[in-house]
Amino acid sequence: MYQLLSFRDKLGLSAKVLEAANGVGGTWYWNRYPGARCDSESHSYAYYFSKALIQDWNWSERFPQQPEILRYLNHVADRFDLRRDIQLNTRVRSGRHDQASNRWHVISEAGEHFTATYLVTAVGCLSSANVPGIPGLSDFAGDWYHTGQWPHEGVNFSGKRVGVVGTGSTGIQAIPVIAADAGHLTVFQRTANYSLPARNASLTEEFRRYAKEHSDDIRKVMTSNTNAHPFYITDRSAFDCSDEERKAIFEAGWKKGGLEFRTAFRDLLIDEKANKTAADFIRGKIHDIVKDPKTAALLADIDHPFAAKRPPVDSQYFETYNRDNVSLVNLRETPIERITAKGIQTAAQEFELEIIVFATGFDAMTGSLLKIDIEGRNGMKLSDAWSAGPRNYLGLQVPGFPNFFTITGPGSPSVLCNMPPAIEHHVDWITECIRHMREQGIARIEATESAADYWVHEVNAAASATLLPRATHSWFLGANIPGKPRVFMPYAGGFAKYRQICADVVSKGYEGFSLSRS
């Protein structure tokens, strides 16, 4: 939506958004599962390109729920009259670049044909639902759902035997809400996860006023730090203080809630021993909260460093396992063998269920792009160019695909930080790039092969300097999708550094891009 507004109002271009859904909102249109809410604080999870927009919207909670975020996005669409250039219920089947005419030809699944000079994908990093290929799913006599494709009319769990497969961020949000309604909830856990308490609360009028009056300061913090959140990482090591002082710092972060817990020490993601202090603290909290020692041990049996996968932010997740109607199944010990007509068959037993919820995440960062048959120069397909993993420059452009831009594509820091600042940065960069092209009479822009080689190396080097690759089953590596190349996809060097790199590229005449006037 912001890219549409920028093309139309800043550059005076004719632009059209093709949207598969029946409404605006992207991931917040589709992800309507119970408990769905943002893990970024509401005053930061918003557009900052318009001061008037900041002033005329009031968030109700610290961490907004899906319905409120969707209302906000609809408000934006109406406020800037965006709907007249958005075509809903239109799923794109293919995009092909014609070299002779320098045009992209886009075909919808309904057969509609669109042509454009520039093709921009804003398909999202986490939008291609991963429904696991477990044998027998079609045999199940009950109802099953994926959290990323949730029915808009909702699901009635009242008194039902429910199974939730997956304990990532989505499962951790949904499980407490489902448990409150279900007759019995069985959670199938493959990978135990760290989770931080949200400590969600209604926003006071005083805080809302503060956020509006200090919006420039908040934006400056978000755009100048590592994670694009409205707080900085504290410049101290986990070993700059005593054990007692460190524990007190962690306790204060746990009490405050949210992702700010990660900012307690600068070396949590780069030093294994420092990381262990945070990991051990959270494991201790799990054992304190969960009354059954065996269940607590399973939930605390976490096999990766803290924050090597983005930690979920929860509301009473671990407390949910103290309910009499909730049980936990360890899939590492007894894997799922198949879905039966009655429920889920593990290596140990069959669990009879009436509803199965797959909280199994997404084919992250590349899945939605590769679902579209995108063809660049000389018939090159994106699926072939990325057969060994995503290869691009700055997460913005792919060699062999002229005038093709990817907002928050692989190779960008988007999923490692607060998304709105990352999205706004990419939109602003693309907008100014096309402005430059038009002013200079440049017809085509395309990332060079050498620039892509350089950027793949930079992405790998940035990841290797952290503990992030130690989570070998993370979707950062595509490890949740069978057959997907194991490549670390996001840029882990920090948002501020990334912004500076992008700015330097521009200042050097779009270094790493091939610019052509013909």
Identify the pLDDT of residue 367.
87
| 217 CB neighbour count, 10 Å cutoff | 12
pLDDT score for 276: 98
- What is the C-alpha separation between 317 and 310, in angstroms, rounded? 16
Residue type, 420: P
Please give the Cα distance from 200 to 40 (Å, whole number): 11
Confidence (pLDDT) at 486 = 81
Domains, the chain, ranges and CATH?
2-128+364-516 (3.50.50.60)
pLDDT by residue for the chain (518 residues), tens digit each?
999 999 999 999 999 999 999 999 999 999 999 999 999 999 999 999 999 999 999 999 999 999 999 999 999 999 999 999 999 999 999 999 999 999 999 999 999 999 999 999 999 887 888 889 999 999 999 999 999 999 999 999 999 999 999 999 999 999 999 999 999 999 999 999 999 999 999 999 999 999 999 999 999 999 999 999 999 999 999 999 999 999 999 999 999 999 999 999 999 999 999 999 999 999 999 999 999 999 999 999 999 999 999 889 999 999 999 999 999 999 999 999 999 999 999 999 999 999 999 999 887 788 899 999 999 999 999 999 999 999 999 999 999 999 999 999 999 998 889 999 999 999 999 999 999 999 999 999 999 999 999 999 999 999 999 999 999 888 778 777 788 888 889 999 999 999 999 999 999 999 999 999 97
Contact between residue 481 and residue 363 where contact means Cβ atoms under 8 Å apart: yes
Per the CB < 8 A criterion, the answer to whether 364 and 389 are in contact is no
Regarding pTM above 0.75, the answer is: yes
Continuous segment of H or E residues that includes residue 208:
helix 205-213
DSSP state at residue 377 = G
**Of the candidates 413, 404, 406, which has an alpha carbon nearest to the alpha carbon of residue 501?**
413
Please give the pLDDT value at position 472.
Answer: 85
What is the spatial distance between Cα 496 and Cα 273, in angstroms, rounded to a whole number? Answer: 26
Determine contact, residues 264/257, Cβ cutoff 8 Å: no
CA distance 396 to 393: 6
Q: Is the separation of the CB atoms in 328 and 163 below 8 Å?
A: no
Look at residue 139 in the predicted model and tell me its pLDDT.
Answer: 96
What pLDDT score does 463 carry?
94
